[in-house]
């Protein structure tokens, strides 16, 4: 594995750890919103063949659904 690949792998691992640490103080509803937005973005990208509008639209719809589902 060359130096650039090692650096990229380390950067991705560090970003993932920091991203998970940012979720520590989130409420249940905030976590549901984030999960819904992520799932919606993936679904929108798959359904539209990777278009930007489909990904963003899916993230918005998924975030709204996650927000509503996360209410107690």
pLDDT of residue 51: 87
Q: Whole-angstrom Cα distance, residue 32 to residue 24?
A: 13
Give the chain's length: 72
Residue 60 is predicted with a pLDDT of: 94
- Residues in the chain predicted with pLDDT less than 50, given as ranges, are none
Q: Are 62 and 38 in contact (CB under 8 A)?
A: yes
d(CA 28, CA 30) in angstroms, rounded, equals 5
Query: Distance between CA atoms of 37 and 55, rounded to whole angstroms?
Result: 10
Question: So what's the pLDDT on residue 1?
Answer: 62
pTM, whole model, 2 decimals? Answer: 0.67
Neighbours of 28 (CB within 10 A): 10
Say what the pLDDT of residue 57 is: 93
């Amino acid at each position: 594995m060359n130096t650039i690949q090692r650096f990229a792998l380390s950067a991705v691992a560090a970003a993932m750890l920091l991203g998970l640490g940012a979720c520590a103080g989130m409420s249940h509803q905030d976590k549901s919103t984030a999960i819904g937005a992520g799932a919606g973005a993936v679904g929108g990208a798959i359904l539209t063949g990777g278009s930007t509008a489909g990904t963003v639209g899916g993230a918005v719809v998924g975030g709204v659904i996650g927000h509503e589902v996360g209410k107690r």
